[in-house]
């Protein structure tokens, strides 16, 4: 069991997973989103090979209406 902080909220997962697998679990596939892991951007091309570990802090963002 690992715990990740996603957008400020804790979430548990049964095992280590990649950013790509996380996106699948959160139903984000097909959406345009960006990922920051412990303060560093994870480029899209690295989503499948970036592994998440217990205690990692993630920010997942999208574009929304704004002025």
Residue 48 interacts with other proteins (CB under 8 A): yes or no: no
**Is residue 10 part of the contact set for other proteins (CB under 8 A)?**
no
Residue 36 in contact with other proteins, rule: CB under 8 A: yes
C-alpha torsion 53→50→41→30, nearest 10? -110
Residue 53 CB, shortest distance to other proteins, in Å, is: 20
> Which residue in 16, 39, 19, 36 sits closest to 28, CA to CA?
19
Residue from 8, 10, 12, 15 in contact with other proteins (CB under 8 A): 8
Binder to other proteins among 6, 17, 21, 37 (CB under 8 A)?
Answer: 6
- Contacts of residue 29, Cβ cutoff 8 Å, sequence gap at least 6: 23
């Amino acid at each position: 069991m690992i715990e990740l902080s996603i957008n400020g909220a804790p979430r548990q997962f049964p095992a280590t997973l990649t950013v790509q697998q996380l996106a699948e679990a959160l139903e984000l596939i097909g959406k345009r989103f960006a990922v920051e892991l412990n303060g560093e951007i994870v480029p899209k091309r690295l989503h499948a090979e970036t592994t998440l570990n217990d205690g990692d802090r993630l920010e997942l963002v999208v574009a929304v209406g704004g002025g």
